[in-house]
Amino acid sequence: MLKRAFIFCFYCLCWQLKAQPLAVPEVPHKMNFAGITLTIRDDARREIQKDVDALMQSPKHYQIKVERAKAYFPIIEKIFAEEKLPDDFKYLVLQESALIGNAVSVSNAVGFWQFKDFTAKEVGMRVDDLIDERMNIVSATRGAARYIKKNNYQFNNWIYALQSYQMGAGGVLRSVPDVESGARHMTITSQTYWYVKKFLAHKVAFEVAMQNQSTSSLKITEVSGIELEKIISQTSLSEEKLRSLNLWIRKNYIPDDKTYALILPNQVADNSLISDAPKVLTKQNSKPTVPIVGQTSLHGLAVTYSQSNETLQAIAQRNNVSLPSFMRYNDLHGFEKVMPNIPYYLQPKNKSSNKSTVSARAGQDLWQISQQEGIRLKTLKKLNRKKTLTLEAGEVVWLSGKKPKVAEQPSKQWQASEFIKDIPETDQNYFNWEILIPTESGNKLQVETVPIQIQDIQPNVQKSKAIVPQTIPMDGKHEVRAGETLYSISKQYGISAEEIININQLKNNAIQPGQILILIKPNAEKDLQKSNNLNTIWHEVKTGETLYSVARQYGVTIKELCDWNGKKDFEIKPGEKLRIEKVE
């Protein structure tokens, strides 16, 4: 009976302690973050305080996060110290994932620091069917530190580096009108980006609980090329326990392409294969791993560079890679010369990139771009619609998404140049064009030729507002605006699109906003002056007029009219303004 009473009293006490609300800290008017003194206005304090209250509303869930933080924060702090990142950023991992290693966001970001696969690879993590280092606290923390530092190099302000972790550096530049570079004092208001305010709430909510932080219950051991079964047998851990601490291992084997940080409980027996001191675990009966000279990583992949007078076979042999695999990894056939300062991959290159395009330097070909960006050559050829490796200096190479097709030329049915080059200049009242009229004669068809008066052909068109061509600027140049095409520019200045392409040596019809187009041929200042002087007149088309009748009226040819007005067909409309170069 006494025993039952004791148990009852114990549970009552636990229930009271559990029900007792946490002492919620107040958001201060001033706080320090990464060496920046933040003044928090009352409107922002109320918002941040609301988030703090929500984080601490459930003592049970709050305490779970605190215990995770006590286990992982010592590891994170050590890595941040090595990377020289302010220690305050450790609270960001609670905001991102609550330190849940396999957390997945709605945007498919994964792991402790919520990386998307392409960003993870960019900062050096391996993400594939064997390994996903986004769920490795060491690899992901180091990747997060490098990503944050990279953005701080751009802004020289840790607040904007923090904000860019959620919206990217480009998003910060678009949303912040005046970036306070190097600021040591900043004001937080209700207008401050929500992500920053939510981070400050996490810092306030968990900072007090972490002041009495004890030693981590976890330790790190470096491993490479080992079966999980062997680790389990040497550590006496259950497979479930080992995997719960190392969710980044997707199969039953840790590859030997590099060393990985294995997380183990501190109480693992000292006589195991794995000790507190970093040690490389190797396959049974294999020799200890020795660092390979010249080996490093690029785009999350193992690479090496050639040494003096090395052959392809020597590079492969030095890096313990079979020659056929080495050739396949680097899209080689065996006859290529070894090139200095070119990375050679020791594992398959990536199938995609987080970059969109890159410009080729003088002398670069598609294979060199493939090596530079760590993308398979077959993929690059497909994306860029190329069958050869040759590139021109400055040529844009597409790394993700397929290069758009070259815009198709207008139908030859209405290409003025196709017609005009065959039209003789004549003083007759009509062109002696022939139309073919089939007539029945017995069982055969005969053809009659009939001269057609141009004046008699009146196209049935709807009236539209005529575009009045502008005179060419005195410098003979035009800056392309958003939405403009070569056709609209040719109409604007009364120059044929074909002429603009020839003058500017364009390969196709594609133009971009901000591009400068030259509207006159080199050494054609006299022609420009002629087109801008008083000899240029405008003719308003009247009902019943044709291009031929207008040409006859001013003593010019139809081809000249088409060239001056950028026309590709013979259609004119009443009210349309035609440019006439009347020479005195």
Contact 576, 540 (CB under 8 A): yes
The amino acid that residue 449 corresponds to is: T
CATH 1.10.530 domain locations along the chain: 19-207
Low-confidence ranges of the chain (pLDDT < 70): 1-21, 213-214, 269-294, 406-471, 474, 507-509, 521-535, 582-584
CATH value of 19-207 in 1.10.530, 1.10.3470, 3.20.20, 3.30.70: 1.10.530
Distances (CA, A) of 554 to 110, 436, 455, 565: 73, 32, 16, 15
| Distance separating alpha carbons of residues 250 and 343, to the nearest angstrom | 28
Nearest Cα residue to 370 out of 344, 393, 347: 344
Helices vs. strands in the chain: H and E counts, helices first: 20, 18
Contact 245, 260 (CB under 8 A): no
Distances (CA, A) of 172 to 106, 355, 411: 22, 19, 46
pLDDT of residue 214: 63
Joined tokens for residue 175:
């949303």
pLDDT of residue 415: 41
User: What pairing do the DSSP bridges indicate for beta strands 226-227 and 253-254?
Assistant: antiparallel
List Cβ neighbours of 449 (8 Å cut-off, separation of 6 or more): 434, 435, 436
Tens-digit pLDDT profile for residues 212-247: 766 778 999 999 899 988 998 888 888 999 999 999
The amino acid that residue 293 corresponds to is: V
Nearest Cα residue to 281 out of 327, 235, 343: 235
Joined tokens for residue 37:
């003194």
Contact 307, 341 (CB under 8 A): no
Nearest Cα residue to 209 out of 353, 70, 370, 312: 70
Q: Which long-range contacts (CB under 8 A, 24 or more apart) does 198-202 make?
A: 198/51, 198/95, 199/91, 199/92, 199/95, 199/162, 200/27, 200/31, 200/33, 200/38, 200/40, 200/48, 201/27, 201/48, 201/49, 201/51, 201/52, 201/55, 202/51, 202/55, 202/91, 202/92, 202/94, 202/95
CA dihedral 305, 307, 310, 312 (to 10 degrees): -10
Annotate 451-495 with DSSP letters as a single string.
E--GGG--------PPP-PPPPPTT-EEEPPTT--HHHHHHHHT-
The amino acid that residue 272 corresponds to is: S
Burial tier of 318 (Cβ tally within 10 Å: 0-12, 13-18, 19+)? middle
| Distance separating alpha carbons of residues 6 and 427, to the nearest angstrom | 123
Contact 259, 285 (CB under 8 A): no
- Backbone Cα Rg of the chain: 37
User: What pairing do the DSSP bridges indicate for beta strands 36-40 and 536-540?
Assistant: unpaired
| Distance separating alpha carbons of residues 300 and 297, to the nearest angstrom | 6
pLDDT of residue 5: 54
| Distance separating alpha carbons of residues 137 and 271, to the nearest angstrom | 25
136: three-class secondary structure by DSSP: coil
Return the exposure string of 57-94: e unless at least 16 CB atoms fall within 10 Å of the residue's CB, then b. Answer: eeeeebeebbebbbbbbbbbbebbeeeebbebbbbbbb
Tens-digit pLDDT profile for residues 160-201: 999 999 998 888 888 887 888 889 999 999 999 999 999 999
Residue with tokens 């198709």: 408
Annotate 191-218 with DSSP letters as a single string.
TS-HHHHHHHHHHHHHHTTTTT----SE
The amino acid that residue 473 corresponds to is: P
Distances (CA, A) of 449 to 105, 421, 435, 455: 75, 22, 6, 18
Residue with tokens 């009146």: 458
User: What pairing do the DSSP bridges indicate for beta strands 396-398 and 434-441?
Assistant: unpaired
Q: Which runs of consecutive H residues, i.e. helices, occur in 107-208?
A: 117-122, 137-155, 158-175, 194-207
Nearest Cα residue to 102 out of 91, 92, 93, 112: 112
The amino acid that residue 496 corresponds to is: S
